Chain A
Amino acid sequence: GAVVSQHPSRVICKSGTSVKIECRSLDFQATTMFWYRQFPKQSLMLMATSNEGSKATYEQGVEKDKFLINHASLTLSTLTVTSAHPEDSSFYICSTQAAPPTDGTQYFGPGTRLTVL
């Protein structure tokens, strides 16, 4: 399968600060990347779909001004959690998808554990 990296793997920050998480597609050009959030012992919750060169599409209930997504190249998407608060603490996972036509397969990064103090 495709190789996807995320950086950092773990981050601890103070309340009110912003945190940027990078997602890189290492072995193919990903026209579409997805950002998920996962709470302990729960399934993945899709936050947004990131398309290269255009604005991200956010799922209902996800604040786009709080979770800024940038997909500036075919191999890199970033998620910035702005003015983070303890309730933003979670496991954030990105995934990549090849250019269409696609069967929908997504390849996932290893995740980023965010802890907001």
Chain B
Amino acid sequence: AQSVTQLGSHVSVSEGALVLLRCNYSSSVPPYLFWYVQYPNQGLQLLLKYTSAATLVKGINGFEAEFKKSETSFHLTKPSAHMSDAAEYFCAVSDPLKAAGNKLTFGGGTRVLVKP
């Protein structure tokens, strides 16, 4: 079974500072990995994904994440936080060996607060 752990349910950063959101996974095989962002009262928007190509993945809004197999991690970073980055962020994994109906397993989420 797969699982995802997001360290820190809340992260507070100053505008312009580095954003670092941690995600560790547990899986019997290297999974596909995703980061989604959710703004209040909205659905989830895909930020980026790792699907066994380049280990450093660049996404939208200046975010990037690096897949580290040895650390079973997929941490999300952004060099300089903007006020609009305040949101809930979810890390998720899926099983690359499955085809149809491939479910996502979500982490608990990390709420980001950006201070001016």
Contact = CB atoms under 8 A, between A and B. Distances in A.
Given A105-B46, A111-B43, 13 more contacts: A6-B43, A32-B100, A42-B109, A97-B102, A99-B100, A100-B99, A100-B102, A103-B94, A104-B102, A104-B103, A108-B44, A110-B43, A111-B42
A44 B46 contact: no
Interface string B20-44: 0000000000001010100001111
Interface size bracket, A side: 20 to 34
Interface of B: 32, 34, 36, 41-46, 49, 51, 90, 94-96, 98-104, 106-109, 111
A102 interface: yes
Interface of B is mostly: loop
A68 interface: no
A13 B17 CA distance: 44
Contacts of A85: none
Nearest to A104: B94
Given A43-B106, A43-B107, A49 B44 contact: no
Contacts of B100: 31-32, 51, 99-100, 102
Interface of A: 1, 4, 6, 31-32, 34, 41-44, 46, 49, 51, 57, 91, 93, 95, 97, 99-111, 113
Report, nearest first, the 6 A-B pairs whose CB atoms are least far apart: A104-B94, A108-B43, A100-B99, A104-B102, A108-B44, A103-B51
Contacts of A99: 100
Nearest to A4: B43
B43 A109 contact: yes
A1 B32 contact: no
A46 to B, nearest CB: 6
B7 to A, nearest CB: 14
Contacts of A105: 34, 46, 49
A49 B103 contact: yes
10 contacts: A4-B43, A42-B109, A95-B43, A100-B99, A101-B99, A103-B51, A104-B32, A104-B94, A104-B104, A105-B46
